[in-house]
Amino acid sequence: MIHLRKILKAMINIEQKQIIQRKLQERIPRFECPMCHKQTFMILDGYLTDTPQDDFRSITIGRGEVFPTVAIVCVNCGYVARFALGALGLLPENQEQENNEQKPPIEPA
């Protein structure tokens, strides 16, 4: 079971964390840390976003393409696992982010 713990000022509210927790448990009923084999995790208090690049030697900023993820952290050893919000079904159907507009990716059910 993934346990919720607060580590910083809440950037993801408790309702969003519960939705994330539920989606992860639907797909991975018995998630275990691949390093220490414990089963106690916390959801990182913020979304992580990668920007796909076409060249590993340079960074292009402002392309508009993003790969949003949520991370869970093993409270025993600190291992970090990231999950794509789109694969979890947690992105809005229309994922356009015009003008780099920040929209919360999860809407309460």
Q: Residue 49's beta-bridge partner residues? A: 68
Burial of 75 (0-12, 13-18, 19+ CB in 10 A): middle
What are the tens digits of pLDDT across the range 22-61? 999 999 999 999 999 999 999 999 999 888 888 888 887 7
Given the structure tokens 């947690």, which residue do they identify? 90
Three-class DSSP category at 83? strand
Three-class DSSP category at 29? coil
> Do 32 and 40 touch, CB atoms closer than 8 A?
no
Mean pLDDT value of segment 6-30: 83
Give me the pLDDT at residue 100, please: 40
Q: What are the extents of the domains in the chain?
A: 14-94
pTM over 0.85: no
Give me the pLDDT at residue 51, please: 85
What are the tens digits of pLDDT across the range 62-105? 777 888 999 999 999 999 999 999 999 998 875 544 334 554 55
> Do 86 and 68 touch, CB atoms closer than 8 A?
yes
The residue type found at 89 is G
